[in-house]
Amino acid sequence: MSLPMEFDLKGRVAIVTGAGTGIGRATAILLARRGADVAICGRRQDKIDEAAERIRETGQRALAVQADVRKPEQCKTLMDRVAAELGHLDILINNAGGAHGHVPLATMDPAKWDRDVKLNLSAAMYCSQAALPHLKASKHACIVNISSLAGMHGTAGVAAYAAAKAGLQMFTRVASSEWGGYGIRVNCIACGMIATEAAREGWAKSGFDAAGAAKQSFGLRRYGEMEEAAQAIVFMASDAASYITGETLAVGGGPKLGGMIEVE
Protein backbone atom coordinates (compact mmCIF):
# COMPACT_ATOMS: atom_id res chain seq x y z
CA MET A 1 0.00 0.00 0.00
CA SER A 2 1.41 3.40 -0.97
CA LEU A 3 1.81 6.14 1.60
CA PRO A 4 -0.20 9.36 1.48
CA MET A 5 1.93 11.98 -0.27
CA GLU A 6 2.44 14.08 2.85
CA PHE A 7 4.00 11.15 4.73
CA ASP A 8 6.16 9.89 1.85
CA LEU A 9 9.86 10.71 2.28
CA LYS A 10 11.05 9.22 -1.00
CA GLY A 11 14.04 11.09 -2.43
CA ARG A 12 15.02 12.68 0.88
CA VAL A 13 18.19 12.20 2.87
CA ALA A 14 18.12 12.13 6.66
CA ILE A 15 20.74 11.88 9.34
CA VAL A 16 20.05 10.60 12.85
CA THR A 17 22.61 11.09 15.60
CA GLY A 18 22.95 8.55 18.40
CA ALA A 19 21.25 5.99 16.17
CA GLY A 20 23.05 2.79 17.13
CA THR A 21 20.36 1.88 19.66
CA GLY A 22 17.11 3.07 21.20
CA ILE A 23 14.89 5.81 19.85
CA GLY A 24 17.51 6.90 17.33
CA ARG A 25 17.74 3.45 15.77
CA ALA A 26 13.94 3.04 15.66
CA THR A 27 13.64 6.48 14.04
CA ALA A 28 16.30 5.75 11.43
CA ILE A 29 14.57 2.51 10.40
CA LEU A 30 11.16 4.19 10.22
CA LEU A 31 12.56 7.03 8.09
CA ALA A 32 13.86 4.40 5.67
CA ARG A 33 10.51 2.61 5.62
CA ARG A 34 8.95 5.92 4.62
CA GLY A 35 11.37 6.17 1.69
CA ALA A 36 14.32 8.22 2.94
CA ASP A 37 17.99 7.35 2.56
CA VAL A 38 19.45 7.51 6.04
CA ALA A 39 22.84 8.29 7.53
CA ILE A 40 23.36 7.30 11.13
CA CYS A 41 26.10 8.21 13.52
CA GLY A 42 27.23 7.06 16.92
CA ARG A 43 30.34 6.28 18.88
CA ARG A 44 30.14 2.48 18.56
CA GLN A 45 30.83 1.29 15.03
CA ASP A 46 29.38 -2.18 15.64
CA LYS A 47 26.02 -0.75 16.70
CA ILE A 48 25.65 1.69 13.83
CA ASP A 49 26.78 -0.95 11.33
CA GLU A 50 24.02 -3.25 12.59
CA ALA A 51 21.43 -0.46 12.34
CA ALA A 52 22.63 0.37 8.84
CA GLU A 53 21.97 -3.21 7.77
CA ARG A 54 18.40 -2.94 9.01
CA ILE A 55 17.98 0.21 6.94
CA ARG A 56 19.32 -1.49 3.80
CA GLU A 57 16.79 -4.29 4.29
CA THR A 58 14.09 -1.70 3.49
CA GLY A 59 15.69 -1.06 0.11
CA GLN A 60 17.06 2.37 1.06
CA ARG A 61 20.65 3.54 1.14
CA ALA A 62 22.39 3.71 4.50
CA LEU A 63 25.61 5.34 5.67
CA ALA A 64 27.09 4.54 9.08
CA VAL A 65 29.59 7.11 10.39
CA GLN A 66 31.40 6.91 13.71
CA ALA A 67 31.44 10.39 15.26
CA ASP A 68 31.41 12.20 18.58
CA VAL A 69 28.84 14.99 18.22
CA ARG A 70 30.22 16.75 21.29
CA LYS A 71 33.07 17.90 19.04
CA PRO A 72 32.17 20.66 16.54
CA GLU A 73 34.84 19.69 14.03
CA GLN A 74 33.50 16.13 13.86
CA CYS A 75 29.98 17.45 13.34
CA LYS A 76 31.11 19.48 10.32
CA THR A 77 32.97 16.53 8.85
CA LEU A 78 29.92 14.35 9.42
CA MET A 79 27.43 16.66 7.68
CA ASP A 80 29.74 17.32 4.75
CA ARG A 81 30.34 13.60 4.26
CA VAL A 82 26.64 12.75 4.36
CA ALA A 83 25.80 15.43 1.79
CA ALA A 84 28.68 14.35 -0.45
CA GLU A 85 28.01 10.59 -0.34
CA LEU A 86 24.21 10.62 -0.33
CA GLY A 87 23.84 13.66 -2.60
CA HIS A 88 22.20 16.22 -0.32
CA LEU A 89 20.68 16.63 3.16
CA ASP A 90 17.04 17.32 4.03
CA ILE A 91 16.40 16.05 7.55
CA LEU A 92 18.50 16.27 10.72
CA ILE A 93 17.39 14.36 13.82
CA ASN A 94 19.42 15.50 16.85
CA ASN A 95 18.86 12.42 18.98
CA ALA A 96 22.21 11.87 20.73
CA GLY A 97 21.86 12.39 24.48
CA GLY A 98 21.48 10.77 27.86
CA ALA A 99 22.01 11.22 31.57
CA HIS A 100 25.00 9.82 33.42
CA GLY A 101 23.57 8.56 36.69
CA HIS A 102 21.61 10.28 39.44
CA VAL A 103 23.57 12.87 41.42
CA PRO A 104 22.24 15.44 43.92
CA LEU A 105 22.98 19.04 42.99
CA ALA A 106 24.84 19.56 46.28
CA THR A 107 27.51 17.07 45.22
CA MET A 108 27.41 17.56 41.45
CA ASP A 109 30.88 17.45 39.91
CA PRO A 110 31.19 20.46 37.57
CA ALA A 111 32.90 18.24 34.99
CA LYS A 112 29.91 15.88 34.95
CA TRP A 113 27.55 18.85 34.66
CA ASP A 114 29.50 20.11 31.65
CA ARG A 115 29.51 16.62 30.10
CA ASP A 116 25.72 16.26 30.25
CA VAL A 117 25.07 19.78 28.99
CA LYS A 118 27.47 19.28 26.10
CA LEU A 119 25.89 15.99 25.06
CA ASN A 120 22.24 17.02 25.46
CA LEU A 121 22.35 20.64 24.31
CA SER A 122 25.60 21.79 22.75
CA ALA A 123 25.83 18.77 20.42
CA ALA A 124 22.50 19.67 18.83
CA MET A 125 23.74 23.19 18.17
CA TYR A 126 27.01 21.91 16.68
CA CYS A 127 25.18 19.50 14.37
CA SER A 128 22.52 22.04 13.37
CA GLN A 129 25.07 24.71 12.59
CA ALA A 130 27.15 22.25 10.55
CA ALA A 131 24.07 21.05 8.66
CA LEU A 132 22.75 24.55 7.93
CA PRO A 133 24.55 25.17 4.59
CA HIS A 134 23.21 21.86 3.27
CA LEU A 135 19.69 22.37 4.62
CA LYS A 136 19.48 25.77 2.98
CA ALA A 137 19.67 24.01 -0.38
CA SER A 138 16.74 21.68 0.39
CA LYS A 139 13.06 22.32 -0.36
CA HIS A 140 12.07 20.02 2.51
CA ALA A 141 14.56 21.04 5.20
CA CYS A 142 13.81 20.29 8.82
CA ILE A 143 15.49 19.64 12.14
CA VAL A 144 13.91 17.58 14.90
CA ASN A 145 15.53 17.81 18.34
CA ILE A 146 14.90 15.03 20.85
CA SER A 147 14.25 16.40 24.32
CA SER A 148 12.58 14.90 27.38
CA LEU A 149 9.72 15.54 29.76
CA ALA A 150 12.52 16.17 32.26
CA GLY A 151 13.12 19.37 30.30
CA MET A 152 9.50 20.39 30.84
CA HIS A 153 8.88 19.39 34.45
CA GLY A 154 12.33 18.72 35.89
CA THR A 155 13.60 15.50 37.44
CA ALA A 156 15.44 15.41 40.76
CA GLY A 157 18.85 13.79 40.54
CA VAL A 158 19.49 14.64 36.89
CA ALA A 159 19.64 18.43 37.05
CA ALA A 160 22.20 18.80 34.26
CA TYR A 161 20.22 16.55 31.93
CA ALA A 162 16.92 18.28 32.74
CA ALA A 163 18.41 21.77 32.34
CA ALA A 164 20.05 20.82 29.05
CA LYS A 165 16.82 19.33 27.68
CA ALA A 166 14.95 22.49 28.68
CA GLY A 167 17.62 24.50 26.89
CA LEU A 168 17.18 22.32 23.82
CA GLN A 169 13.50 23.30 23.70
CA MET A 170 14.42 26.98 23.73
CA PHE A 171 17.16 26.40 21.17
CA THR A 172 14.41 24.90 19.00
CA ARG A 173 12.28 28.05 19.28
CA VAL A 174 15.15 30.43 18.52
CA ALA A 175 16.51 28.36 15.62
CA SER A 176 13.04 28.10 14.10
CA SER A 177 12.79 31.88 14.09
CA GLU A 178 16.28 32.58 12.80
CA TRP A 179 16.21 29.91 10.08
CA GLY A 180 12.54 29.99 9.10
CA GLY A 181 13.36 32.44 6.33
CA TYR A 182 15.36 29.71 4.62
CA GLY A 183 12.34 27.42 4.75
CA ILE A 184 13.89 25.30 7.49
CA ARG A 185 11.48 23.98 10.11
CA VAL A 186 12.85 23.23 13.58
CA ASN A 187 10.79 21.25 16.07
CA CYS A 188 11.30 19.24 19.22
CA ILE A 189 9.95 15.99 20.68
CA ALA A 190 9.91 15.66 24.48
CA CYS A 191 9.90 11.96 25.29
CA GLY A 192 8.59 10.52 28.52
CA MET A 193 9.25 7.04 29.92
CA ILE A 194 10.26 5.09 26.81
CA ALA A 195 11.32 1.45 27.03
CA THR A 196 14.65 1.66 25.24
CA GLU A 197 17.23 -1.08 25.63
CA ALA A 198 19.19 1.09 28.06
CA ALA A 199 16.07 1.93 30.07
CA ARG A 200 15.04 -1.71 30.40
CA GLU A 201 18.56 -2.64 31.46
CA GLY A 202 18.55 0.11 34.09
CA TRP A 203 15.11 -0.89 35.38
CA ALA A 204 16.19 -4.51 35.76
CA LYS A 205 19.46 -3.59 37.44
CA SER A 206 17.85 -1.31 40.02
CA GLY A 207 14.68 -3.33 40.52
CA PHE A 208 12.57 -0.38 39.40
CA ASP A 209 8.93 -1.24 38.71
CA ALA A 210 8.52 0.76 35.51
CA ALA A 211 5.07 -0.64 34.74
CA GLY A 212 3.83 0.24 38.22
CA ALA A 213 5.35 3.72 38.11
CA ALA A 214 3.84 4.41 34.70
CA LYS A 215 0.43 3.28 35.90
CA GLN A 216 0.61 5.84 38.69
CA SER A 217 2.16 8.66 36.66
CA PHE A 218 0.73 8.78 33.15
CA GLY A 219 -2.73 9.15 31.72
CA LEU A 220 -2.38 6.05 29.54
CA ARG A 221 -1.14 4.01 32.55
CA ARG A 222 1.83 2.53 30.68
CA TYR A 223 5.30 3.38 29.46
CA GLY A 224 5.97 4.01 25.78
CA GLU A 225 7.75 1.94 23.17
CA MET A 226 10.61 3.18 20.99
CA GLU A 227 8.51 2.90 17.84
CA GLU A 228 5.87 5.22 19.34
CA ALA A 229 8.47 7.93 19.87
CA ALA A 230 9.80 7.33 16.37
CA GLN A 231 6.34 7.84 14.85
CA ALA A 232 6.11 11.33 16.36
CA ILE A 233 9.63 12.23 15.25
CA VAL A 234 9.05 11.09 11.68
CA PHE A 235 5.73 12.95 11.60
CA MET A 236 7.58 16.18 12.41
CA ALA A 237 10.07 15.40 9.64
CA SER A 238 7.33 14.88 7.05
CA ASP A 239 5.25 17.26 4.97
CA ALA A 240 2.31 16.39 7.20
CA ALA A 241 3.92 18.89 9.62
CA SER A 242 4.79 21.44 6.92
CA TYR A 243 3.31 24.40 8.82
CA ILE A 244 4.62 23.45 12.25
CA THR A 245 7.84 24.96 13.53
CA GLY A 246 9.32 26.09 16.83
CA GLU A 247 7.14 23.65 18.77
CA THR A 248 7.80 20.99 21.39
CA LEU A 249 5.52 17.95 21.27
CA ALA A 250 5.29 15.84 24.43
CA VAL A 251 5.25 12.08 23.78
CA GLY A 252 4.75 10.84 27.30
CA GLY A 253 1.46 9.02 27.69
CA GLY A 254 -0.44 12.02 28.99
CA PRO A 255 -0.64 13.64 32.42
CA LYS A 256 -2.10 12.14 35.56
CA LEU A 257 -4.14 14.93 37.10
CA GLY A 258 -5.14 15.26 40.72
CA GLY A 259 -8.85 15.71 41.38
CA MET A 260 -11.83 15.20 43.62
CA ILE A 261 -12.71 11.67 42.51
CA GLU A 262 -10.94 8.34 42.19
CA VAL A 263 -10.81 6.86 38.70
CA GLU A 264 -9.90 3.40 37.59
Q: Domain locations in the chain?
A: 8-194+225-251
**pLDDT tens digits for the chain (264 residues)?**
577 889 999 999 999 999 999 999 999 999 999 999 999 999 999 999 999 999 999 999 999 999 999 999 999 999 999 999 999 999 999 999 998 888 999 999 999 999 999 999 999 999 999 999 999 999 999 999 999 999 999 999 999 999 999 999 999 999 999 999 999 999 999 999 999 999 999 899 999 999 999 999 899 999 999 999 999 999 999 999 999 999 999 999 998 766 665 656
Q: Which entry of 161, 182, 223, 243 is annotated as an active-site residue?
A: 161
In this structure, CATH architecture of domain 8-194+225-251: 3-Layer(aba) Sandwich (3.40)
Tell me the CA distances in angstroms from 31 to 70, 230, 240, 243, one per residue in order: 24, 9, 14, 20
Q: Is 243 a catalytic residue?
A: no
Cβ atoms of residues 140 and 187 within 8 Å: no
Strand order in the sheet with 248-251: 62-66, 37-42, 13-17, 91-94, 142-148, 185-191, 248-251
